Amino acid sequence: MNTLKSFVQDQWVEGREPFATLVNPSTEEPLARTSTNGIDMGAAVDHARAHGASLREMTFAQRGELLKAWSKALHEKRDELLGLAMQNGGNTRGDAKFDVDGAIATLAHYAELGAQLGSLKALRDGEAVQLGRTARYAGLHLWVPRDGVAVHINAFNFPAWGTAEKAACALLAGMPVVSKPATSTALVAFRLAEIGAGVLPRGTFQFLCGSPGELLDRLGPQDVVAFTGSSQTAARLREQLGRRGARLNVEADSLNAAVLGPDVEPGSATWDLFVADVVRDMTQKAGQKCTAIRRIFVAGDRLPAVQEALVDRLSQVRVGDTARAETTMGPVSTADQLRDVRAGIDKLASESQRVFEGKISESKGYFVPPTLLLARDAAAAKVMHKDEVFGPVATLAAASDAAGLVRRGGGGLVCSVYSDDRDFLRKCVLDVAPYHGRIYIGSEKVAGQTLGPGTVLPQLLHGGPGHAGGGEELGSLRGLQLYSQRVALQGDRALLDAIAPEKS
Amino acid sequence: MNTLKSFVQDQWVEGREPFATLVNPSTEEPLARTSTNGIDMGAAVDHARAHGASLREMTFAQRGELLKAWSKALHEKRDELLGLAMQNGGNTRGDAKFDVDGAIATLAHYAELGAQLGSLKALRDGEAVQLGRTARYAGLHLWVPRDGVAVHINAFNFPAWGTAEKAACALLAGMPVVSKPATSTALVAFRLAEIGAGVLPRGTFQFLCGSPGELLDRLGPQDVVAFTGSSQTAARLREQLGRRGARLNVEADSLNAAVLGPDVEPGSATWDLFVADVVRDMTQKAGQKCTAIRRIFVAGDRLPAVQEALVDRLSQVRVGDTARAETTMGPVSTADQLRDVRAGIDKLASESQRVFEGKISESKGYFVPPTLLLARDAAAAKVMHKDEVFGPVATLAAASDAAGLVRRGGGGLVCSVYSDDRDFLRKCVLDVAPYHGRIYIGSEKVAGQTLGPGTVLPQLLHGGPGHAGGGEELGSLRGLQLYSQRVALQGDRALLDAIAPEKS
């Protein structure tokens, strides 16, 4: 069996026993094995630290060139990457594109931002301001790269995009990266790293194909950890890294809600957009997106029509081995996920009714049927607002106070609101805004050109408060802030301009 | 003896036994007593939460009006406040002005920002961007007020300014405040709160005159705690609030350094600025400023001349009861501080030599003589880079690699660099930038108009990475970010503009 390697100190190295086995979740066939056991994590951190200066001394344009080269190299291997994602991730070809093309596009987006920033090495935050009697004495704020290492801990659901979006922000900001994929779906991340290692300069990118071991115990106040995963792991990291003073960004559980406004008529463009978005989010990647809609709130009196429309669409989903062309939804990624999702559905069903459950004809694999639940009383319900069931599952409910129900999720990555009524939208959006990192407004005029709330765009923030972890990634240049220190400079305006030029 | 009260649920209430006693640190005479024992902290949090909406529904201009009224009301009581600061804080009249005028000016600064923002209720972050094929499908980022309570835990050294600067940012951002001063110097904060309670609307400001009790156990993910104090307490808060998901801003210990460039000639304007800034920082408020210079690095060969100039100036400092007009430096604030500062100096002296120690003729009070130490070997030293001795004390050292030594402090609030050499400045400033929240550049052209590195201006960030706690306060509108959620909105551009107008 193929043994995956890690890339540490610019060498490809193999871990020792015990190995974890990567499988095809459609067939349960083993695909490869990996381990980081025996790898010197301290040496990896030291190596990154020793090479940080080479990145910081580059201009944004030069850092952007690295991302462009990586993006191009991935594009050249796109078909191979799609194939690996289908095998190891249980992805349909569409799911695989969503992950792999997302990686390529996000790297390209940050490459382009680098090109625009040109010869600068640090970003100004706002305008310079006068501080003294004369304009000569001034102050300005600057984002400078942190003098440490960026450790990336990615989730199993987006091995390509997760690795690339985190690395793009850190590298453009000027921080060297140590990247760790989820072991179960590491095949795609491994290939992405192999390709990256071919274009990125010495020491700027390392890859740990498995457990991080004692890596995090090597970190200090100038280092950054960006973590995507469960709330439980996040809580442990918070304690561990809090003690060490390292900065931590968390993207965790999220009970993303979709709200249908009372004005939306069945058959209207906004209605159709709503139905298409909900069904896409429930079934794309078998519902394994942190941004997928988990709760559906119908603010008017159209609950029966919504239920009918969703059930009709969900009935058309064909679940099965993604190697078959007719399959429109694959399995969840691992046996553990299968167990967790099944248990999660049972728990949800304690306060709701199953109104749709799809069919599965496979005898092997980690398949979960698309499942729609109808809450008995969403205001009284607890599980639906608390437990993220990471599969093709959502709970539908009538809502007299939709914003109040949305907020019961305790903070999420994205909320989608479908309406063409400005007053409804203004109130609903502002009511839920403090509880979200992103709000997607589905309306008639944009129905033809959106990709749905589940698609994370590099231009907009990704992250959310509270339950969702309190982190922020992407958002174009905002994504660099995690890897930067904001520092105020005060003094003679001419000296400030010499130290930190405003324009390239 | 006067018993100070707390302002909870819009009522002035007295705590129960046991009481803490506030004293005059020059004379050790008791001044007042206070306790929060028996006060219902849960009710305080609920009351703030219940009144948050009234602030969020105000425009920035309306919130600014509140700050303006408070600032004006304080200005009218300025002499009384200065008197209280001199009594309870061991402040000279100059020290007291620094604190009280700082409070009045910071409130006025934020009042003015509110007026400029006019009828807006939430701030845009950057420009809107096109997301789809047409300009109609757009995205923008918005800072919206968090739907919780802002808890402020202030330090003993700035009872007026600390209370006001935190409250200014939170109230302008749209969050109700529960403010807690350090007990030992609470007399000024109490009066400030009394005056504030007279002008601020119901539920928007509460004041706990003593221990916070179980207040923090009532907080959740939409709440914010802004803490100024020791690293030890910060570590406890990090754990406690991390579990509860509340956002925490820490401003803790800082080994602020001053660097004298090799180009600076004795007697030049830059030299004089450097000497004046160092001596001011060592003696103003008896060295009890988080931003005070603790380490002095001489990058050229002028160490003997620097030492002579500092000793000459320090010899002129007159330490004593601040009730006497000739006094230029008062005591430290408490008996505990006196003990800690004396112990800290002894520890510093294990790796340095005392080259100056001032005289004290008082028989009572918590007086520490101004003390200048000379490091035997700053590169080998440990204590000077690690222990913040919060009194009129600094350590001087020759430095071949000044930036390297500055960074040994592990992250600070402010670093000051004195030079007129652009190349030296560019390298030194950028080398230390990731380790600081603010860098002050002292040069010939601004020598006549700066207030020194120890003065925190509302226009510039206050806070620092690593050892300094990793927080950010002030910096004009940046100070509102702590109390806001940044949220991306995506959809029809016309709808976005209706929900969140760009301009007032």
pLDDT digits 0-9 by tens, A62-72: 999 999 999 99
Q: Supply the pLDDT for residue B16.
A: 96
Could you report the per-residue pLDDT of B282-340, keeping only the tens digit for each? 999 999 999 999 999 999 899 999 999 999 999 999 999 999 999 999 999 999 999 99
Asked whether the beta carbons of residue A446 and residue B122 sit closer than 8 angstroms, the reply is no
Task: Please judge whether A440 and B491 are an interchain contact, meaning their C-beta atoms are less than 8 angstroms apart.
Answer: yes
* pTM to 2 decimal places: 0.97
B45-252+471-499 with B257-458: one CATH topology?
no
| CB nearest to A485's CB, from B145, B433, B488 | B433
Distance from CA of A193 to the nearest CA of B (A): 28
Among chain B residues, CA nearest to A501: B426
CB within 8 Å: A441 and B496: yes
What are the tens digits of pLDDT across the range A215-227?
Answer: 999 999 999 999 9
Strands A473-474 and A461-462 come out as antiparallel
Cβ neighbour number for residue A357 with a 10 Å cutoff: 15
**Interface touch A238/B235, C-beta < 8 Å:** no
Asked if A19 and A186 count as a contact pair (C-beta separation under 8 A), the reply is: no
Q: What is the CA B180 to chain-centroid distance, rounded?
A: 14
Angle between helix A159-173 and A78-89 (nearest 10): 130
Distance CA B400, CA B297 (A): 9
The pLDDT value given to residue A243: 87
Length of chain B: 504
Q: Kindly indicate the confidence band of residue A300, based on its pLDDT and cuts at 50, 70 and 90.
A: confident
Nearest residue, CB atoms, A487 vs list B125, B141, B433:
B433
What are the tens digits of pLDDT across the range B412-466? Answer: 999 999 999 999 999 999 999 999 999 999 999 999 999 999 999 999 999 999 9
Angstrom distance (rounded) from CA A132 to CA A148: 35
Q: What is the mean pLDDT of residues B25-40?
A: 97
Which residues from A are below 8 Å from B139, CB to CB? 457, 459-460
pLDDT reading at A296 higher than 90: yes
How many angstroms separate the CA of residue B96 from the nearest CA in chain A? 22
Amino acid identity, residue B185? T
pLDDT, residue A332, reads 98
With cut-offs at 50, 70 and 90, classify the pLDDT of residue A152: very high
| B488–chain A nearest CA distance, Å | 4
| Rounded (to 5) percent helix, strand, coil in chain B | 40, 20, 35
Chain B residues closer than 8 Å to A429 by CB: 489, 499
CB atoms A434 and B145 under 8 Å: yes
- Chains A, B: CB contacts within 8 A come to 240
Residue B33 clears pLDDT 90, i.e. is over it: yes
* Cis amide leading into A18 (omega within 30): yes
Which residue from B235, B433, B490 is facing A438, i.e. has the nearest CB? Answer: B490
Alpha helices in B262-410 (DSSP H): 269-283, 303-314, 335-348, 383-386, 402-407
CB pair distance less than 8 Å for A145 and B472: no
Rounded to the nearest angstrom, the minimum Cα separation between A262 and chain B is 17
Using CA coordinates, name the residue in chain B closest to A437.
Answer: B487
Residues in A closer than 8 angstroms to B445, CB to CB, are 136, 492, 494
A148 pLDDT tier (thresholds 50, 70, 90):
very high
User: CA–CA separation, A436 vs A80, rounded Å?
Assistant: 36
* B80 has pLDDT over 90: yes
Q: Considering only CB atoms, which chain A residues are within 8 Å of B235?
A: 242-243
Distance CA A229, CA A233 (A): 7
What CATH homologous superfamily does B257-458 map to?
Aldehyde Dehydrogenase; Chain A, domain 2 (3.40.309.10)
Nearest to A496 by CA among B437, B439, B104: B439
Instruction: Looking at the complex, report in whole angstroms how far the Cα of residue B302 sits from the nearest Cα belonging to chain A.
Output: 23
Check residue B329 and report its DSSP letter.
Answer: B
Domain spans of chain B, in order of start: 45-252+471-499, 257-458
Residue B364 carries which DSSP code? S
- Contacting residues of A for B459, CB less than 8 Å apart: 129, 131, 139
Is the C-alpha dihedral spanning B212, B217, B220, B225 positive or negative?
Answer: positive
Per-position DSSP letters for B14-43, written without gaps between them? PPPSSPEEEE-TTT--EEEEE--TT--HHH
Using CA coordinates, name the residue in chain B closest to A469: B245
The token duo for A18 is 């015990």
B251, B388, B472, B473: the active-site residue:
B251
Decide if pLDDT at A113 tops 90: yes
- Residues B68, B108 contacting (CB under 8 angstroms): yes
The 3-state secondary structure of B394-463 reads EEEEECCCHHHHHHCCCCEEEEEEECCCHHHHHHHHHHHHHHEEEEEEECHHHCCCCCCCCCCCCCCEEC
Distances (CA, A) of B207 to A11, B163, B322: 59, 10, 28
Q: For A349, how many CA atoms within 13 A lie in the half-sphere containing its CB?
A: 13
CA–CA distance, B312 with B391 (Å, rounded to integer) = 19
- Cβ of A235 within 8 Å of Cβ of B242? The answer is yes
Distance of CA A335 to the CA centre of its chain: 22
Chain B contacts of A472, Cβ < 8 Å? 486
Supply the pLDDT for residue B300.
86
Interchain pair A472, B486: CB under 8 A: yes
Residue A277 has pLDDT above 90, yes or no: yes
Smallest CA–CA separation between A147 and chain B, in Å?
Answer: 6
pLDDT at residue A204 greater than cutoff 90: yes
Mean pLDDT of B473-499: 98
Other Cβ atoms less than 10 A from the Cβ of B16: the count is 10
Q: Which residues of A are catalytic?
A: 251, 290
Contact A487 B147 (CB under 8 A): no
**Contact between B446 and A492 using a beta-carbon 8 Å cutoff:** yes
Using 50, 70 and 90 to split pLDDT, how confident is the model at B358? very high
Contact state of A141 with B489 under an 8 Å Cβ cutoff: no
Q: Which helix (H) or strand (E) holds A417?
A: strand A412-418
What are the tokens at B198?
Answer: 């007279």
Question: Above 90 in pLDDT, residue B139?
Answer: yes
Q: Which residues of B touch A441 (CB under 8 A)?
A: 489-492, 495-496, 499
Q: Which of B457, B487, B491 is facing A433, going by the closest CB pair?
A: B487
The whole-angstrom distance between residue B283's C-alpha and the CA centroid of its chain comes to 17
CA-angle at A311, arms to A306 and A313, nearest 5°: 100
pLDDT attached to residue A504: 86
Of A139, A238, A460, the CB nearest to B459: A139
CB contact under 8 A, A222 and B434: yes
Of A291, A323, A241, A207, the closest CA to residue A468 belongs to A291
ipTM of the complex: 0.97
Indicate yes or no: CB of B425 within 8 angstroms of CB of A495.
Answer: yes
Give the closest of B131, B247, B407 to A457, CB-based. B131
Which residue out of B277, B446, B496 would a mutagenesis test of the A interface target, given it has the greatest number of A Cβ atoms within 10 Å?
B446
Task: Report CA torsion sign: B187, B190, B192, B198.
Answer: negative
pLDDT tens figures, A342-355: 999 999 999 999 99
The conformation of residue B319, written as its DSSP 8-state character, comes to B
Chain A residue numbers touching B476 (CB-CB < 8 A): 129
Query: Which of A243, A446, A459 is nearest residue B492 as measured by Cβ atoms?
Result: A446
Residues β-bridged to residue B36: none
Helix (H) or strand (E) holding A125: strand A123-130
Residue A411's closest CA among A454, A453, A467, A463? A467
Neighboring chain A residues of B486 at a CB cutoff of 8 Å: 437, 461, 472, 478
Instruction: State residue B243's pLDDT score.
Output: 87
Which residues in chain B touch residue A430, judged by CB atoms under 8 angstroms apart?
122, 144, 499-500
Residue of B290, B388, B428, B473 marked catalytic = B290
Closest CA to B163 of B126, B222, B202, B208: B208
Q: Check A446 against B475: CB less than 8 A apart.
A: no
Q: Convert B140-202 into a string of H (helix), E (strand) and C (coil).
A: EEEEEECCCCEEEECCCCCHHHHHHHHHHHHHHHCCCEEEECCHHHHHHHHHHHHHHHCCCCC
Residue of A nearest to B245 (CA): A466
DSSP 3-state percent helix, strand, coil across chain A (nearest 5): 40, 20, 35
Query: Which residues is B140 bridged to in the sheet?
Result: B489
Cβ separation of A441 and B465 shorter than 8 Å?
no
B414-440 exposure pattern, b = at least 16 Cβ within 10 A, e = fewer: bbbbbbbbeebbeebbbbbbbbbbbbb
Top-tier CATH class for B45-252+471-499? alpha beta
| One-letter identity of residue A426 | R
Mean pLDDT of B108-123: 97
Question: A433 and B490 in contact by Cβ < 8 A?
Answer: no
DSSP states of A143-157: EEE-SS-EEEE--TT
The pLDDT tens digits of the residues spanning B239-295 come to: 999 889 999 999 999 999 999 999 999 999 999 999 999 999 999 999 999 999 999
> In a 10 Å sphere around its CB, with 0-12 CB exposed, 13-18 middle and 19+ buried, how is residue A53 labelled?
middle
Collapsing DSSP to helix, strand or coil, B498 comes out as: helix
Q: Which residues of A touch B467 (CB under 8 A)?
A: 221, 245
* Total residue count of chain A as it appears in this document: 504
pLDDT at A337: 97
| H, E, C per residue of A155-201 | CCCCHHHHHHHHHHHHHHHCCCEEEECCHHHHHHHHHHHHHHHCCCC
Which candidate, B307, B311, B295, B495, places its Cα nearest to that of B414? B295
**Six token digits for residue B123:** 């701030």
Give the HSE-up count for residue A428: Cα atoms under 13 Å, Cβ half-sphere: 32
Does the N-terminal peptide bond of residue A392 adopt cis geometry, omega within 30 degrees of 0?
Answer: no
